[in-house]
Amino acid sequence: MPLWKIYHPVDAYTPQDKQALAERITNLYPFLPKFYVGIVFQDVPKDSFYIGAKPVDNFVRIWVDHIAKKLDTDSREGWVRMCDKALAPFVKERGYDWEFHIDETPFTLWSIQGMSPPLETSEQYKRWKLENKPTPDAPSAG
């Protein structure tokens, strides 16, 4: 489950901007059920973000938590570049200074609606992705 936390100046993004950016971010994960991808937009008032002990009002900070899938060591740099490209219209091209990073949490330290998420190779995972929601595993006939 990726969770993207986007800290930004107040009024940096309209509701339409947020929707478009949320769609871009979600589309970075075609291999996951869409409901796995969460995005939180957090307004930061002008006097509440400091860099080098000085207040800034043109900075966007993005913090990503990855749980559902870990990045292979060989693909990490490429993934970061792909994210940078997806974000560029909303930060770089609008003149914001920005930074982003990814934390990876062990899969075993995650539950969703009280259930352990299924492995990607399972039928339950395929069902979750198809239905775009977590559902308990079907009881076996017997």
Read off the pLDDT of residues 95-136 as tens digits, 9 standing for 90 and up: 999 999 999 988 888 888 898 899 889 999 899 999 999 988
Q: Are 49 and 7 in contact (CB under 8 A)?
A: yes
- Give the pLDDT confidence of 55-105 residue by residue, as tens digits: 999 999 999 999 877 778 788 889 999 999 999 999 999 999 999 999 998
Q: Could you tell me the two tokens for 131?
A: 């239905």
All structural domains of the chain with their residue ranges: 3-110
Among 48, 56, 73, 59, which Cα is nearest to 12's? 59
Q: What's the whole-model pTM score? A: 0.89
Domain spanning 3-110: which superfamily? Macrophage Migration Inhibitory Factor (3.30.429.10)
